[in-house]
Structure 1
Amino acid sequence: MGGLREMAAPFVALGPSGVAVRDRLKHLTAEDQQVLRLVGDHLGMPASRDLKARCAAGLDHDTDAWAERKRALSVECSSRWAGSITRATHDQWGLARRGQLAHIQGLEAGVRTIAHRLSLPVGEKGSKQAPGGYRSRQEWHAKTRRLHVLTDRLQAARADWEAGVVRVVRGGKRLLNTRHHLDTAQLTEEQWRTRWETGRRFLQADGESSKRFGNETIRVTPGGEVSIKLPATLAHLANAPHGRYVLAANVAFAHRGEQWRDRVQMNRAVAYRIHEDTTRGRWYLTASWTIPPVKTVPWPAARAGGLVGVDTNAGHLAAWRLDAHGNPVGEPVRFGYDLSGTAAHRDAQVRHALIRLLHWAKRHCLAIAIEDLDFQAEKTREKHGRRKKFRNLISGMPVAKLRSRLVSMAAELGISIVAVDPAYTSRWGSQHWQKPLTSKNKKITRHDAAAVAIGRRALGHPIRRRTAPPPAHRSDEQGHRTVQARPGTPGREELRPRIPGPRTRSVRAGCGVNAENQDAQHRSGRPAEHEFWQQDSLPLSL
C-alpha cells in the first residue's frame, strides 16, 4: 500500500474559451495575391525586429517598454497594425518560455533516471516503482558520458531561464534547418525559399469592439467581402477609399457561420489571419473570437444517471456505458482511427472518432469519463530505455489534441467531460473486470476493462469488483455482498467491523483481522459492507 500514489479527485473539465473558424479565399486574382504578399512582407520585417527587441529585453520588459515598442512600429505602419504585431510578439515569447520550462523538466527527469541507474550494480533487476541497473558495463559507461552531456545542457537551459533568454525563429526552426538538408526534404532551393518567405509574413489583425464589423484593419462584411487597410507606404495600391484594398474573393464560413455573422453585425471584436498554403497554392482566412466560459455542471450532477467510460489507445477509443452503481451496461464499443499519413489525415481521423463517440453518448444522454493523460514525461528514452516500439507508440498518441478537441466538441453538444486520474486503470481494470465480463460468446479485452475502471473511478466507486459469497449465504439475512454503496453513504470509508464467529463455511472465526488491507488497490473509496445495505438494481449477471 505504501508504493501506491495518492489519486487525484475526478473533476468536470472546463469548456473552451475561444473559437476559430477558417474558410478558403477562392477566385483571388494575380493582383490580389501580389498585394497580399507585399503587405505580408512589409509587415514581416518590423515583426522580426520587434521580436528581436522583446527577446533582448528578457525579464526586464514591462508595460512602458511595450508602449515604446508600439510607438516605434507605428512609424512604419498604422497603430492598429503595430498593436497586432506587439501582441503577437508577446504571445510568441510566452510560448517560447513555456517550451523552455518543459525542456528543463525533461532534462531533469533524464538526469534523475540516469543517476539512479548508475548508482545500482550492473545487471541488478528493477521493480515496478523504479528501474534497475544497466545491463552491461559498456552500457553503463555510455550512460555515464550521456549523464555529463545532459547535465551540461541542463545547466545551460537553467541559466537561460533565469536570465529570461529565449531563442525563437520566425518561420520555424525546423524549416530553417531544412535549408541544409534539401535533398532529404525533396525540395529545391526555390521551393524552400518560397516556404521560408511565406512563414515569415505577417498578415493578422486583432479585433476591436464597437468598430465597424469588429475589425478596422482586416474587415469582413456579413456578406463575405474582405478588405485590408494598407500601410502608408503601400497606400498607392488601394482600390477603395481610405487606403483600403478589397479582395475579389468572398468568404462564407460553413462552420459557426451564424455565430460569426451575428458578431460582425453587432460590431463585436473578431480577429483575422490570412495565410498562404504554398503546397496547395491556396489562400485561407481564419476568424477567431473569445466566448464566455462554458458553465460546467457539478460532478454529482454529471454522474447522476451513469456515464460512458473511455480508454484512450494508440489506434482506437474503447468505450463502455456504466449505470449509476458502476455496473457495465450493454456491450463495449470501439471507435477506431488511423494515425498514419499526413498530419491533416491524422487530425481528420481523430475528429471523426470523437464525433462518433459524442453522438453515441448523446443518444444515451450521458457524460463521458476520460483519463487526464499527459505523456510529456513518459516518452523519454531514459525512462523506457530500449523499448523503442513502446516509445513510438506513446509518442504517436494524440493525447493533447484529442483532449482539447473532445472538450470543445462536447461543449457544443452539451455533454460533460469528467477527467479522472489515470493511475492503475489498465492494470486494475484487467485484474478485476476482464475475466468476470468474459464469456463463451463475448471476449473482453484489456482496453474494455480499463474503460470500466475509468468509469467507476469517475462515478466515485472503487475499481475492485466485489465477489459473491457461497450460495448458502446469499440471503437477505446476511445481506448481498456485491451491493455497491453510493458515494455519500455514511460509513462507506470506514473499516469493516469485527463480527465474532464464523462468517462463511470456508472461513474460520478471527480470520478477518487483516480486513483493513483489502482496499489497497483503490484510493477513491471503499465498499461498504456494514450498517445499511442497498440493493438497487445491482448485481451483474455473469
Structure 2
Amino acid sequence: MGGLRSAAEPFVASGPSGVAVRTRLKHLTPGDEQVLRLVGAHLGSLAAKDLKVRCRDGLDHSGESWAVRKRELTPLSSSRWAGSITKATHDQWALARRCHLAHIQNLEAGVRTIEDRLSPPVGQKGTRKAPGGYRSAREWHAKSRRLRVLEDRLTAARADREAGIVHVVRGGKRLARTRHHLEAAGLTESAWRGRWEAERWFCQADGESGKRYGNETIRVSPDGEVSIKLPAPLAHLSNAPHGRYVLADRVAFADRVAFADRVAFADRVAFADRVAFADRVAFAHRGGEWADRVAADRAVAYRIHYDTGRTRRYLTASWQIPPTPTLPIETALAHGVIGVDMNADHLAAWQLDTHGNPTGSPRRFSYDLTGTAEHRDAQIRHALTRLPHWAHACGVKAVAVEDLDFAAEKTREKHGRRKRFRQLVSGMPTGKLRARLASMADQTGIAVIAVDPAHTSRWGAQHWQKPLTSTTRKTTRHDAAAVAIGRRAQGHPIRRRTAPPPQHRSDAVGHRTVQARPGALGREGTRPRVPGPRTRSVPPGRGANAGNQNAQHRPGRSAEHGFWQQDSLPLSP
C-alpha cells in the first residue's frame, strides 16, 4: 500500500462557455447553390494563402504581421471576411501546435518504454513497478531497431517544434491520402475532387455585438431570412442592396409555425404573417435563446457547411455564454451522487446516498462506438441524454465521473501485442464525453464531479462486487467501479464499512456503522456468523450443562470427551 500514489482531490467540472446549434438549408435554388459555391471557393483560396503565410512566419508572428495579412485580404473580400479568415488561420495553427506537442509526448513515451524493456535480460519477468525483458532475442533485436526509428522521429519533431514548423492540410490528411487509393475508397477521381474542393471551402463569419442581428457578414433575421455579404470580386451577383445576397430558403411549414411560437414577437403577429414565415430557416434546438440574442443585436457567429456525403448544406449558429458559477462540492453532494464508470460499450451507473451506500439497482446506458463519426457522436449524445434524466428523477444533483486521460496508454510500445486493447483505449472519447456531459448536465442543474481514476476498477471489484451480488442481481466489475467512483467523489474510502468490535463480539453499543481504519483486518469482509441458537429456547439436554464449565469441551477442564458406547445386555441372569 505504501507504493501507491495518493489520489487527487475531486473537483466540480466547469460548465460550458459556448453554444452551437445547427439547422439545414432546404430547397435552395440552383442560383443559391452557384453563389454559395463561388463564395466558398473564393474565400477558401484566400484562407489557404493566409495559412501558408502564417505557417511561414512560425514563431516570428506578431500583431503587426497579423494586421499586414488582414490588410492584404481586405481588397479581395471585405474587412470582416478578412478578420474571420485570419482568426480561423490562427486557431488552426494553434491546434496544429497542440497536436504536434502531443505527438512528441507520444514518441517520448514509446522511447522510454523500449529503453526500459531493452535493459533487462531477455526473458526476465517484470514486476508491478518495472517492466520485464522481451520474450526472445529476435524480438529484442526488432525493438532495438524500432528504438532507432523512434529516436530519429523524435529528433525531427523536436527540431520542427523549436523552429515553429507545423504540418497542416486544409481539407484533411485522410482525404488527401484517399486520392492514392480511390478503388479501395469506392470513389472516382471526379467524386474525390468534388469532396476535396468542398472541404477546402470557407464560409464562416464572427459575430459582432451592437450590429444588426449580431452579424454583418452572414445575417439571419429573427423571421429566418438568410443573407450574405458578398466578397468584392463577386459583388455583381448580389440580389439585395449593399452587395448582399438573400437565400431563397424554405423549410417545412410546421417547423416555422413552431419557431414563430417561440420567438418574442410571435404573439403580436397574425396567422397570415406566420404563413409568410414558412419560407425561412429555424433552429429546433435553443431557438428561443437564439431569437432573443438576434432581437437584441447580440453577437452570433454563423457557418455554412456543405456535407459531401449527404449532399446537403447546413447553417450553424454559435455564441458565447457566461459560465455557470461552480457550486461547492459539499452543496452538490447534499442529496447523494451517481457514480458513473465509462466503458467501451456502455456507461455503468449506480446511485449512492449521502453516506456512500449504494441504493436501488445499477443502471446501464449502452452505446456503439463503431461506424462513422456521426454515428458515434449520436450514440454518445443519446446515452448522455438519458443519464441526467435519470439523475433528475432520483433527486440527485451530482454525477461523478473519472478524470480519464489515456495519453500515456495509447503508445504502441506499451501494449504492442495487445492490438485490440490499444484500439479499445484509443476509441474511447473520454474528453468529449466529459465535456458533453458537463454541457448537458448544466441545463438540468446537475453538477459533474471529476475524480481521480486510480484503482477504481480494481478496488471496486475487490470490495464491492461480491457483497452487492445476490441471487436476484449479478453485480459486474463495472457496476462495482461506479460505486467506487461515487464514494471517492464523496470523500469516503473505497473500502466497505466493517464492524470492528468495540468491547466484545455483540452489538453492545448499537449497530456497527463506523468507518474502519485502513489497517483493520477483515474490514472488507462480511460480519462473522456466530454459532449457536438465535432464540431464547435451547435444544433438549443443553440447558442443564449451560453453567457447568467442566461439562463443556474447553481446554484445561476435567471433563473427558472420549468415545462412549453402551454395554450390551447380559444374556443370563
Report the TM-score when normalising by structure 1: 0.88
1:517/1:169 CA distance change after superposition, 3 Å: farther
Give me the CA root mean square deviation: 1.8
Distance in 1 separating the partners of 2:506 and 2:364: 36
Distance in 2 separating the partners of 1:335 and 1:199: 35
Distance in 2 separating the partners of 1:283 and 1:420: 41
Match of 1:391 among 402, 422, 426: 422
CA distances 1:246-268 after superposition (whole Å, capped 9, x unpaired):
00113100000111110011000
2:308 corresponds to: 278
1:8 aligns with 2:8: yes
Distance in 2 separating the partners of 1:291 and 1:474: 59
Distance in 1 separating the partners of 2:47 and 2:379: 36
1:311 aligns with 2:311: no
Match of 1:340 among 356, 370, 377: 370
Match of 2:505 among 455, 473, 495: 473
Distance in 1 separating the partners of 2:362 and 2:521: 29
1:491 corresponds to: none
Distance in 2 separating the partners of 1:359 and 1:484: 32
Question: Aligned to 1:94, what secondary structure does the other structure show?
Answer: helix
Distance in 1 separating the partners of 2:193 and 2:212: 37
1:287 corresponds to: 317
1:417 aligns with 2:422: no
Distance in 1 separating the partners of 2:15 and 2:508: 46
Distance in 2 separating the partners of 1:262 and 1:316: 38
CA distances 1:143-197 after superposition (whole Å, capped 9, x unpaired):
0001000001101111111111111111111111111111111111001100110
* Structure 1 residue 130: Cα displacement: 3.1
* Structure 1 residue 129: Cα displacement: 3.0
* Structure 1 residue 6: Cα displacement: 2.1
Contact 2:497–2:523, Cα closer than 8 Å, also in 1: no
Contact 1:178–1:185, Cα closer than 8 Å, also in 2: yes
User: Counterpart of 1:414 in structure 2: which amino acid?
Assistant: G
1:245 aligns with 2:230: no
User: Counterpart of 2:347 in structure 1: which amino acid?
Assistant: L
Unaligned runs of 5+ residues in structure 2 are: 250-279, 525-573
1:227 corresponds to: 227
CA distances 1:296-326 after superposition (whole Å, capped 9, x unpaired):
2111111122100011011111111001111
2:34 corresponds to: 34
* Structure 1 residue 12: Cα displacement: 0.2
* Structure 1 residue 273: Cα displacement: 0.5
User: Counterpart of 2:442 in structure 1: which amino acid?
Assistant: A
Distance in 1 separating the partners of 2:219 and 2:522: 62
Distance in 2 separating the partners of 1:409 and 1:127: 43
Contact 1:308–1:369, Cα closer than 8 Å, also in 2: yes
Distance in 2 separating the partners of 1:516 and 1:433: 18
1:534 corresponds to: none
1:431 corresponds to: 462
Distance in 2 separating the partners of 1:332 and 1:520: 24
Contact 1:23–1:286, Cα closer than 8 Å, also in 2: yes
User: Counterpart of 1:254 in structure 2: which amino acid?
Assistant: A
1:148 aligns with 2:179: no
Identity %: 71
Distance in 2 separating the partners of 1:5 and 1:520: 22
Distance in 2 separating the partners of 1:129 and 1:56: 45
CA distances 1:94-132 after superposition (whole Å, capped 9, x unpaired):
000000000000000000000000001111111233321
Question: Aligned to 1:324, what secondary structure does the other structure show?
Answer: coil
Contact 2:219–2:226, Cα closer than 8 Å, also in 1: yes
1:206 corresponds to: 206
Distance in 2 separating the partners of 1:352 and 1:45: 38
1:102 corresponds to: 102
Distance in 1 separating the partners of 2:135 and 2:85: 54
Question: Aligned to 1:382, what secondary structure does the other structure show?
Answer: coil
2:43 corresponds to: 43
User: Counterpart of 1:400 in structure 2: which amino acid?
Assistant: G
- Equivalence map 1:361-376=2 (5 Å): 361-366=391-396, 367-376=398-407
Distance in 1 separating the partners of 2:66 and 2:290: 31
Distance in 1 separating the partners of 2:281 and 2:521: 63
1:60 corresponds to: 60
Unaligned runs of 5+ residues in structure 1 are: 486-495, 497-514, 522-542
Contact 1:311–1:317, Cα closer than 8 Å, also in 2: yes
* Structure 1 residue 468: Cα displacement: 2.8
1:239/1:481 CA distance change after superposition, 3 Å: same
